[in-house]
Every structure is written in C-alpha cells, then in structure tokens.
C-alpha cells in the first residue's frame, strides 16, 4: 500500500533540514518502502504567496496524507503581522485541523554529545525522558480570548484555560500507554493547588491509573517540575501535562541535552496519523547558510516510520545511522566539540544516507 507523506519545509532553516530528511525518505523508497512524497507551503512562506500561513490546499493535502513532515515556521520578517496570520498560526491550525492532540517530545542525551549540556555530566548522562504534551486544547485554544476595552478606557487581555474530562482522558491514555512501553513511571504535571482546571486534570489522571496497574503514577506541580528537571532530570521516565506547561517544560528538557538540534517530535491523532517535526525553531539567524543540524528532522522521520508507517525496523536503522555519524565524529556547529569534524547541513544528511547504505 502506498503511503503518502506531505513535506512542509516552512520557513528559515526548515527548507534546508527537510531537504536532508527527504534524502533519507528517498533512500528508503529506493530500498522498497512504498512512499509517495508531496510538498506544500506553510507558515511565512505560505503567507508571502497566499496571504495566509495555512492555505486550504495545504490543509487538504495534510488531511489526505498518512503523515506530515514539517520543518519549522516563523521569522522576524513576519513578526509584525497581526496574530491571526502569523506563521505560528499555520502550525496551530495544522494541529487543530488534523486533531493532533498528543505531542510526544523525547529528550535523549546521546553519549557522544555528553559534553554539550550546560549541566554536569553526572546529572544528565544517560538521560532518556519523554514529555507527553496535550496539543489541541488548554489555554492555547480556549475561548473566550482577546483584548477588550473596559468602561474606563483601559484595555484588558484575556485567555481561557479549559479542559473537558474527555480531553484529559485521551491524552492520559496516550501517556499511560507510552509509559507501559518504557520504564512504567508516569509523572502528571499540573497546578492543582491554584487552578481548578488542573485539579480536574489530576482527578482524571488518578482515575485512569486504575486501568494501568503496572504504571506508577505520581503528580507534581509545574513550578516544582521545572526545578526537578534541572536538579535531577533522571528521576523522570514519562511526564504528561497541559498544552502550555508542556510547551515550557519541553524547552527546558531539550536544553538538558544541550543539543536542541538533535530532538525530534511527533504529534498524533486518535488513529496514529501524525505530524513530525524537529523541536527547534526556524533559526532565522543561520537560515540559508547550510550549517543547520538536520539530525532532529531525520530523527523525526524515524518517529514517523515507527508511529504512522508501521516500519519500526527502518526507524531503528535511522537511529543507528545517526549514532554512526556521531561516532565518526561528524558535527554541525551547534554540537561541535574539539577533535571532531565540522560539517554542514548537506554533508551531515548525506552521511546519514551513506550509513544507511552500509
């Protein structure tokens, strides 16, 4: 059966890094994986052509596809646009339009890159944690929202944090099942001491735990979780949290590894269809220079093979190929260290393909 993949390079370095990930997909296709690739515009580059960051044609192609590979969106060029047409709205529109409620963000420290973290090696070595972030609800999408003018003429900004039980339950199930496949420890992060909405979150997670007796569930307030992540991150196996807390904690977790250029992510719907993207942004400061690290995007392809294309062996091979190029000492500038060989985006991508050939 032919699997359709929609590639959305987006903005900034998105163009360069997805080009390398496509080389990996093309290689797998030559080996016999039945893939069909298509490309479309999203983000600022879509706004420039169509006046919207998420053209209907792009959303339609994404709906038809079995999986979507996204580079990154955004950049200074579009920062002064009104919020409704900013590049980020393209990303948020894809998430909600495709029902991608479950965001998996692993933070893994590669032993080859142990020196890249700003934390002491003994704190982070061997780190392997997974953040499961709710992605289509919470304060990101809650209504009402906006800026209004009060009777006295002063303006007031407001957003709404809202979760239905069913929304909490479905992300909870993804998290418990993820924990079952890993170390069977799940930490649910909330602010139940202050926010009623996350008091409900805690209650639903606790109820769900009865269905997963092998998983050890714990709860943590988000402020403490942020502190624990930098104090002793290896205490965590899987964390599950709301959209906004997950946004913040996943950046924190990424920095533990010191190499945000290495971390992939998956955003999944109810049926395992997904959008896959590196967790870093469009890095406008280095865009077009051919120095961006394509490995996070290539590792996103591995997640795609595992979660949406039922090709776990190919996913494993990509993981090993990435380890091989790191073992060989190839480094893009973001992960460069003394004694290694500095390479650009293209050379790194091609080295992964070469490692796959072996």
Report what 88 binds from ligand IPM, Mg ion, none; CB cut-off 5-8 Å by kind: ligand IPM
Considering CB under 6 A, how many residues would be counted as binding ligand IPM? 4
User: Is the Cβ of residue 20 or residue 247 nearer to Mg ion in the bound state?
Assistant: 247
**Nearest residue to 73 via CA among 63, 60, 86:** 86
> Could you give the string, one character per residue 218-257, with x where binding to ligand IPM holds by CB under 6 A and - elsewhere?
-----------------------------x----------
Residue with CB nearest ligand IPM?
88
Q: Which helix (H) or strand (E) holds 49?
A: helix 44-50
Nearer to ligand IPM, 88 or 169 (CB): 88
For the chain, counts of helices (H) and of strands (E): 12, 14
CB of 247 to ligand IPM, least distance (A): 5
Q: Minimum CB separation from ligand IPM for residue 1, in Å?
A: 31
DSSP H/E element including 67: strand 67-72
Which listed option, Mg ion, ligand IPM, none, makes contact with residue 220 (CB within 5 to 8 Å by class)?
A: none
If the CB atoms of residues 190 and 247 are measured against Mg ion, the closer one turns out to be: 247
Least distance to ligand IPM, CB of residue 279, Å: 7
Residues 237-256 interacting with Mg ion (rule: CB under 5 A): 247
How many residues of this chain bind Mg ion (CB under 5 A)?
Answer: 1
Q: For residue 37, give the H/E element and its range.
A: strand 35-39
Q: Which of 176, 167, 164, 163 is nearest to 209 (CA)?
A: 176
Least Å distance, CB 240 to ligand IPM, is 16
Query: Binders of ligand IPM among 52-111, rule CB under 6 A?
Result: 88, 91-92
Q: Cβ 163 to ligand IPM, closest distance in Å?
A: 16
Q: How far apart are CB 247 and Mg ion at their closest, in Å? A: 4
Catalytic sites, residue numbers: 140, 191, 223, 247, 251
Determine the distance from the C-alpha atom of residue 160 to the mean position of all C-alpha atoms in its chain, rounded to a whole number. 24
Is omega for the bond preceding 144 within 30 degrees of 0, making it cis?
yes
Beta carbons of 24 and 352 less than 8 angstroms apart = yes
Residue 350 binds which entry of ligand IPM, Mg ion, none, with Cβ cut-offs from 5 to 8 Å by kind?
none
Return the one option of ligand IPM, Mg ion, none that residue 204 interacts with (CB less than 5 to 8 A, by type).
none
Q: How far apart are CA 328 and CA 312, in angstroms?
A: 24
Q: Least CB distance from residue 91 to ligand IPM, whole Å?
A: 5
Q: Site map for ligand IPM, 281-320, x if CB under 6 A?
A: ----------------------------------------
For residues 85 and 92, which CB has a smaller minimum distance to ligand IPM in the complex? 92
Of 91 and 108, which CB lies nearer to ligand IPM in the complex structure? 91
- What is the dihedral angle through the alpha carbons of 276, 278, 283, 289, rounded to the nearest 10 degrees? -90
User: Which of Mg ion, ligand IPM, none has residue 91 at its interface (CB below 5 to 8 Å by kind)?
Assistant: ligand IPM
Q: Which is nearer to ligand IPM, 280 or 317 (CB)?
A: 280
91 or 314, CB closer to ligand IPM? 91
Query: What is the four-CA torsion angle of 236, 239, 244, 245, rounded to 10 degrees?
Result: -40
Report the distance separating Cα 216 and Cα 236, nearest Å.
Answer: 11
Cα separation, 6 vs 255, in Å, equals 29
Quick check: 134 binds Mg ion (CB under 5 A)?
A: no
Q: What is the secondary structure of 188-217 as a DSSP string? A: EEE-TTT-HHHHHHHHHHHHHGGG-TTSEE
The DSSP line for 255-313 is HHHT-GGG-EEEEE-TTS-EEEEESS---TTTTTSS-S--HHHHHHHHHHHHHTSS-HH
Binding site for Mg ion (CB under 5 A): 247
Binding site for ligand IPM (CB under 6 A): 88, 91-92, 247
């Amino acid at each position: 059966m032919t699997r359709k993949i929609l590639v959305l390079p987006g903005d900034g370095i998105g163009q360069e890094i997805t080009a390398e990930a496509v080389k990996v997909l093309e290689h797998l296709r030559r080996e016999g994986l039945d893939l069909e690739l298509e490309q479309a515009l999203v983000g600022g580059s879509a706004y420039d052509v169509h006046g919207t960051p998420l053209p209907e044609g792009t959303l339609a192609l994404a709906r038809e596809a079995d999986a979507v590979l996204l580079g990154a969106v955004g950049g200074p060029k579009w920062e002064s646009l009104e919020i409704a047409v900013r590049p980020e709205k393209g990303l948020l529109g894809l998430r909600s339009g495709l029902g991608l409620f479950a965001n998996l963000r692993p933070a893994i420290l590669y032993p080859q890159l142990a020196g890249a973290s700003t934390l002491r090696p003994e704190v982070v070595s061997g780190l392997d944690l997974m953040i499961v972030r709710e992605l289509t609800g919470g304060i990101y999408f809650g209504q009402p929202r906006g800026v209004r003018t009060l009777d006295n003429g002063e303006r007031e900004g407001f957003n709404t944090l809202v979760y239905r039980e069913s929304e909490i339950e479905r992300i909870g199930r993804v998290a418990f099942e993820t924990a079952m496949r890993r170390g069977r420890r799940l930490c649910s992060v909330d602010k139940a001491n202050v926010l009623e909405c996350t008091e409900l979150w805690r209650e639903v997670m606790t109820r769900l735990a009865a269905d997963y007796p092998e998983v050890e569930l714990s709860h943590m307030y988000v402020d403490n979780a942020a502190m624990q992540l930098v104090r002793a991150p290896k205490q965590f196996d899987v964390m599950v949290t709301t959209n906004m807390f997950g946004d913040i904690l996943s950046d924190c977790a990424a920095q533990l590894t010191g190499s945000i250029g290495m971390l992939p992510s998956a955003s999944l719907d109810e049926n395992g269809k997904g959008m896959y993207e590196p967790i870093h942004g469009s890095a406008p400061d280095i865009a077009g220079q051919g120095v961006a690290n394509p490995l996070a995007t290539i590792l996103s392809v591995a997640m795609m093979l595992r979660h949406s294309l039922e090709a776990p062996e190919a996913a494993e091979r990509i993981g090993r190929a990435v380890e091989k190029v790191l073992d060989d000492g190839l480094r893009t500038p973001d992960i460069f260290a003394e004694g290694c060989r500095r390479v650009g985006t293209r050379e790194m991508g091609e080295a992964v393909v070469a490692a796959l050939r072996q």
